[in-house]
A and B are shown apart, each in its own frame.
Chain A
């Protein structure tokens, strides 16, 4: 079942076309991630879906509801964590949550949210004294206070240290367990790969591709990079290279000192043949690795751009 459907969204600011043509739909219970370089139109797309910015063209449907007719009902159903984690700095996390709870018809108990975002200990400190990660967690908590079905998280981990980032991943995975739908934007490929059910790559206001992370990587290429480092030195590596070049599955080889690199469409077969060869020649192989393909490679392949964190 689709909880959100977006069709042909377009938005310009003056002469800048922030969003050219974006359509997708999100299923109940999935983590849907939008990735793309800065200025790709991620935030504008989110803000249109959240009802903050009116699209120049296109439709947004939350099930049967749309912004024109059901603005308040939609706001009751969604929770938003905007990029600027805006909250009342002079209030405590507890007071912020209590205040936001009054905005909604139904709200989860504040203590429950504090537990979930791991801020129970700091519930009585003013927000201005919290660390970046704690603020960010509170921002997510504020998005969850109304127990919404759909949660929007706009770059929730940007600028956080690895541990704080992991904290937030735990919260997102927890939301998934609760059956919530999460729409996420991120700068970190690793994060998109780890958390998302589906990834949507956006560039220059258009969708480049949408699929599951593994399918995207699969789609990318059939060739995998395999490395073997020989304990017996360059000569052994050179012989290995000559052997590998004659295998049908190997596309090409490269040698750096005692390390042999090769690109193959069937890593299993290639490795089996290679190990037969080393066994016969009694060469010792110190390290073997098959390089993992990541979303980063997908991104580079689809957009032709280098990824920068």
Chain B
């Protein structure tokens, strides 16, 4: 039988093995999907409208100044005035106490009166909402002051946000690419447990008794794993884009390279684990620890920059950091093949992959001499 036919047969056997392995489906497909959905529901709900606050307005003594301010305040889209009408101070204070509103704004009681009062709950004194509200009021006061002396503002702030490529990175995109990186990495690190089982049951020995070309067998296994990872990418992307409104701008060549190098590196890492684990449990223990550490230190769920400074150098050593960044670059920022950052990340992944593979192979050889039985 020629090599290609042998490959086809072996691949179809691998396909059946994977399809029938319930654990593979759970950890490879179901688990990452659930994890991503949970994180997206919890953390990305408020990213659509960045800030919105419900307030009460007190205008116990309507006058031209208060009328003018009232109309300005109600026009601000980020402020939602409860009941839409000014209420009495007592009512407003009660609402604040009960946290039914974020704050109450007491408008000046007469034309001569120039002071606002911002009433907030003690609990929220240092909250983001309070600060934002006081900033808004501050700005209005300044404008009022300026117009009172008949001056036009000389300086003005214009708000602009920057990201390095497309300007639409939000948390959903960040999490989606992180989750894809994590699930491919875990697929590699956990997937090689088959090898431990095959060795424990003597299946590798059994295959070595046949003239089967182990190279082709390994290749068919690897192609199967890559295909499984492609399914992971597609499934997670579809859920991210269609259910959570993620924005993807994909550079296909970059994505293919990052994906292949990343997937191979993490499979090499799994291969290394399998070389020194004699039982399935031992393997799973090692894979779990490593994957757990990486999950939280590699900027999968939150950017590395938000972590303490002393922890960041560790993150900068981990392969998952570079895999997640590479996927973000190629799937969200549409980074092409001419980016040095991209290649630096790929380089780190290659180093991890090659070192793991060489060390793993060495351990396999060494063990096969010691435990030849």
Please list the residues of chain A having a beta carbon within 8 angstroms of any beta carbon in chain B: 13, 18, 43-44, 47, 50-53, 72, 75-76, 80, 82, 84, 86-88, 90-91, 95, 98-100, 102-105, 126, 146
Contact = CB atoms under 8 A, between A and B. Distances in A.
A104 B207 CA distance: 12
B13 A86 contact: no
Contact of A90 (B1, B16, B205, B211): B16
B373 A44 contact: yes
B90 interface: no
Contact of A102 (B5, B20, B203): B5
B1 A104 contact: yes
B16 A75 contact: no
B13 A99 contact: yes
B17 interface: yes
A102 B206 contact: no
8 contacts: A13-B372, A44-B373, A80-B209, A82-B202, A82-B205, A90-B20, A99-B10, A103-B1
Interface residues of B, number: 22
B9 A86 contact: no
Given A13-B372, A103-B211, 13 more contacts: A18-B373, A43-B373, A76-B211, A80-B206, A82-B209, A84-B205, A86-B205, A90-B21, A99-B13, A103-B6, A103-B210, A105-B1, A146-B210
B16 A95 contact: yes
A91 B17 contact: yes
Contact of B206 (A18, A82, A98, A146): A82
Contacts of B21: 90
Contacts of A126: 20
Given A13-B372, A44-B373, A86-B203, A50 B20 contact: no
Contact of A52 (B6, B17, B209): B209
A103 B210 CA distance: 7
Nearest to A96: B13
Contacts of A91: 13, 16-17
Contacts, number: 69
Interface of B: 1, 5-6, 9-10, 13, 16-17, 20-21, 201-203, 205-206, 208-212, 372-373
B16 A102 contact: no
B265 to A, nearest CB: 27
A235 B373 CA distance: 62
B92 to A, nearest CB: 68
Contact of B17 (A76, A90, A103, A146): A90
A104 B13 contact: no
Nearest to B18: A90
Contacts of A13: 372-373
Contacts of A53: 372-373
User: Could you say which of A43, A84, A102 has the most chain B C-beta atoms within 10 Å of its C-beta?
Assistant: A102
B367 to A, nearest CB: 13
B173 to A, nearest CB: 38
B246 to A, nearest CB: 35
A75 B211 contact: yes
B30 to A, nearest CB: 19
A75 B210 contact: yes
A90 to B, nearest CB: 4
Contacts of A90: 16-17, 20-21
B10 A87 contact: no
A45 to B, nearest CB: 12
B17 A102 contact: no
Contact of B209 (A44, A51, A87, A95): A51
Given A84-B201, A90-B17, A102 B9 contact: yes
A50 B209 contact: yes
A130 B212 CA distance: 25
Contacts of B201: 84, 86
A23 B24 CA distance: 48
A11 to B, nearest CB: 9
A72 B205 CA distance: 15
Nearest to A18: B373
A84 B9 CA distance: 24
Nearest to B212: A103
A76 B213 CA distance: 12
Contacts of B209: 50-52, 75, 80, 82
Contacts of A80: 206, 209
A88 B17 contact: yes
A86 B206 contact: yes
Contacts of A88: 13, 17, 203
Nearest to B207: A103
A86 B202 contact: yes
Contacts of B5: 102
Contact of B202 (A72, A76, A84, A103): A84
Nearest to B21: A90
A72 B202 CA distance: 20
A216 B353 CA distance: 60
Contacts of B212: 102-103
A111 to B, nearest CB: 17
Contacts of B203: 86-88
A103 B208 CA distance: 11
Nearest to A16: B373
A50 B373 CA distance: 13
The 4 A-B pairs at the shortest CB distance, nearest first, are namely A84-B202, A103-B212, A86-B202, A75-B211
Contact of B210 (A44, A47, A95, A100): A100
Contacts of B210: 75, 100, 103-104, 146
A44 B371 CA distance: 12
A53 B372 CA distance: 7
B41 to A, nearest CB: 35
Contacts of A18: 373
